[in-house]
């Protein structure tokens, strides 16, 4: 699958947004970095999947709780409550994007070094729980 130029820019913006948010958390919840990371993340997501699909993704009835928490967390970060905003935003993020975790973990398990790391005894149980896979008792 080939990406258009707008989608390539969207991937870069989303990546920079995630990095700015990570840096903002590492620097004791710096509000400016978190706000910039949120703006970059949302704009990158919009460029990757398009404005209409982005709107319909956030407006789905079964995802309304995640949408309210995610956008409410972003507003709390903008209004100088970065710690509480990131907690609320993380809850919303997990509700919105939690369905993608099994796909991401399946992809990561196929990578050479990371797949071996995820197969280690104690890590495997945690990763299986995150991915939602069931193991049968033998």
3-state secondary structure 27-75: CCCCHHHHHHHHHHHHHHHHHHHCHHHHHHHHHCHHHHHHHHHHHHHHH
With a cut of 70, say whether residue 1 has pLDDT above it. Answer: no
CA angle 50, 55, 58 (to 5 degrees): 120
Average pLDDT estimate for 111-123: 90
Mean pLDDT, the chain, whole residue set: 91
The count of other CB atoms within 10 Å of the CB of residue 68 is: 14
Enter the pTM of the model. 0.81
- Give a yes or no: residue 105 inside a domain: no
Round to whole Å and give the CA distance between 123 and 137.
19
Average pLDDT estimate for 63-90: 96
Band the pLDDT of 3: cuts 50, 70, 90. Answer: confident
pLDDT score recorded for residue 99: 87
Domain count within the chain: 1
- Give a yes or no: residue 23 inside a domain: yes
- Give a yes or no: residue 34 inside a domain: yes
pLDDT score recorded for residue 134: 52
The count of other CB atoms within 10 Å of the CB of residue 101 is: 14
- Give a yes or no: residue 21 inside a domain: yes
- Give a yes or no: residue 133 inside a domain: no
The count of other CB atoms within 10 Å of the CB of residue 113 is: 7
Closest CA relative to residue 131, chosen from 111, 107, 86, 101: 101
- Give a yes or no: residue 59 inside a domain: yes
- Give a yes or no: residue 131 inside a domain: no
Q: Give the domain extent around 78.
A: 5-98
- Give a yes or no: residue 77 inside a domain: yes
pLDDT score recorded for residue 85: 97
């Amino acid at each position: 699958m080939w990406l258009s130029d707008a989608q390539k820019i969207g991937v870069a913006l989303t990546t920079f947004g995630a990095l700015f948010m990570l840096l903002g958390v590492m620097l004791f919840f710096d509000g400016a970095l978190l706000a910039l990371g949120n703006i970059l993340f949302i704009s990158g997501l919009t460029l990757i999947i398009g404005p209409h699909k982005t709107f319909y993704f956030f407006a789905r009835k079964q995802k309304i709780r995640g949408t309210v928490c995610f956008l409410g967390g972003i507003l709390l970060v903008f209004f100088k409550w970065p710690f509480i905003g990131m907690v609320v935003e993380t809850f919303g993020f997990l509700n919105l994007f939690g369905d993608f975790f099994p796909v991401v973990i399946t992809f990561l398990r196929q990578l050479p070094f990371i797949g071996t790391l995820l197969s280690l005894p104690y890590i495997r149980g945690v990763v299986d729980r995150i991915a939602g896979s069931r193991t049968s008792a033998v």
